[in-house]
Amino acid sequence: MHGTDGVVISDVTAGYGSRTVLYGITARLPRSGVTAVVGPNGSGKSTLLGVLAGVVRPSRGTIDHANPGRPAFVVQRDAVSDSLPMTVRDTVAMGRWVLRGPWRRLTALDHSVIDACLAALDVSDLAGRQLSTLSGGQRQRVLVAQGLAQESGLLLLDEPTTGLDMSAREHISGALDRERARGVTVVHTTHDLELALRADHCLLLEDGRLLAEGPPGSVLTSQALGQVFHGLSSVPNL
């Protein structure tokens, strides 16, 4: 592992039960950098994120983390029950409980981090609202704010901008840039070509295999995209 590596993935094969979904993935993800994982539906992007989060155990290969702490994992909003009786502020505060343990009081510092994360995703006005009363896009922003509140050295996000309007996408993209500047290793899956092109590093998956890895501009060529997303002639969005 080099000093510039945030995560090193070595020959990882993984799946669910007897079903293999990822085959022999080897990649180096930069520390203080944003990595975009791109590929068609079902190509294994979320599964790779699950492997990095430690919730999917590889059947083969290893993952080395520069940061020993627990990763922050922002799942897709559909994966979170919207019927939990929680306010937006409680939801973001859960990111701090992860650090403090459930029976500790939150400190003044915790509360200021929670305020800053609410502001970063432009959801301060919603702080007192029940999570269940929010729109899908608002809930997505709150989940990203919860991920930021964990102040982890490894931030994993599964399709953080899917279904969001332009302003919300800008807030999320800006938040990822700030995390990178803080030295965080950020990894997100995306179908948003613009967001992928703003990353430092890109992995292109097809059918569970790594087709290409490198700077987004050299990985996401029209030739590669045409091959992976069959029949694509123009690529405003993946």
| Interface with ligand ATP (CB under 6 A) | 16, 19, 21, 39, 41-47, 189
Minimum Å distance from CB 27 to ligand ATP? 15
Q: In terms of CB distance, is 21 or 186 closer to ligand ATP? A: 21
Q: Select 53 or 93, whichever has its Cβ closest to ligand ATP.
A: 53
What's the token pair of residue 62?
């290893």
Hey, what amino acid is at 227? Q
Please provide the DSSP assignment of 2-17 as one string: -TTEEEEEEEEEEEET
Dist CA 143 CA 79 (whole Å): 11
**Of 47 and 138, CB closest to ligand ATP:** 47
200 exposed, middle or buried (CB, 10 Å; 0-12, 13-18, 19+)? middle
b/e per residue 8-21 (b: at least 16 CB within 10 A): bbbebbbbeeeeeb
Q: How far apart are CA 151 and CA 166, in angstroms?
A: 25
Q: Which is nearer to ligand ATP, 28 or 45 (CB)?
A: 45
To ligand ATP, the closest distance from the beta carbon of 59 in angstroms equals: 14
- Residue 33 or residue 39: which is nearer to ligand ATP going by CB? 39
Output 39 or 216, the one with its CB closest to ligand ATP: 39
CB of 47 to ligand ATP, least distance (A): 3
Give SS3 for 47: helix
Judged on CB neighbours under 10 Å (0-12, 13-18, 19+), 216 is buried
In angstroms, what is the minimal distance from the CB of 158 to ligand ATP?
7
Q: Cβ 21 to ligand ATP, closest distance in Å?
A: 4
Ramachandran area for residue 176 (φ above 0: left; ψ -120 to 50: alpha; else beta): alpha
Give the nearest distance from C-beta 211 to ligand ATP in angstroms. Answer: 13
CA 224 to chain CA centroid, nearest Å? 23
